[in-house]
Amino acid sequence: MRKPTALELSRRRLLMGTAASVALGSMSSPSPAQPAQSAVPGSSEVPCMSKVSFTVNGAPHELEVDTRTTLLDALREHLQLTGSKKGCDQGQCGACTVIVNGRRMTSCLTLAVMHEGDSITTIEGLGAPDRLHPMQAAFVKHDGYQCGYCTPGQICSAVAVLDELKAGIPSHVTVDLIATPQLTSVEFRERMSGNICRCGAYSNILDAITEVAGRQA
């Protein structure tokens, strides 16, 4: 058998020394000056907490949350406003849509701490059973829901869509970017395309939005 050369022995010692250093480093505890920023269930790591103040449905709130807490989880878990639903948790279904400073937003994709001083409206803030928002009433009238899971996001998005049109904000299907967008089914469908209804109540949703838009025109 060939004896290893001095170079090979040196390389082996280097690799063994590196592996030992990595192993020891992974076993050491974090420095008190640099606390761990993530918390894994069952671990002793401490999350990084922060305070945030915002207004939700007209009422001021101050929360202390993990900096990784989404706005959706802050609303549902901290304020018990469970109308906004967690569907895909990836911003693809629109079930968690809320209105922030007058603009619609998928609340699962934004952190709560990013909304210091903001004004947030959830489905609970639009109306109540005894005083429905016009859009809520139209959804009921036109049967714009079936299972209802996506409905809070659909309604919040629809309300914001009409405000976008009123403000002259164009969409991908707006022909004249200078003129005020028209209240057409093509515009409504494009602007609502981010809100998915697994039950397929799209035509009824469109009827509800069209009715409210006609009243506001």
| Fold of the CATH domain 46-126 | Ubiquitin-like (UB roll) (3.10.20)
Mean pLDDT rounded to a whole number for the chain: 87
Q: What mean pLDDT comes out for the span 156-183?
A: 95
Q: So what's the pLDDT on residue 168?
A: 95
| Fold of the CATH domain 127-217 | DNA polymerase; domain 1 (1.10.150)
pTM for this prediction: 0.78
Return d(Cα 209, Cα 55) in angstroms, integer: 27
**Is pLDDT at 195 greater than 50 in this prediction?**
yes
169-to-31, 164, 172, 192 alpha-carbon distances in Å: 51, 5, 10, 14
- Domain regions of the chain by residue span: 46-126, 127-217
**Residue 3 or 75, more confident:** 75
One fold for both 46-126 and 127-217? no
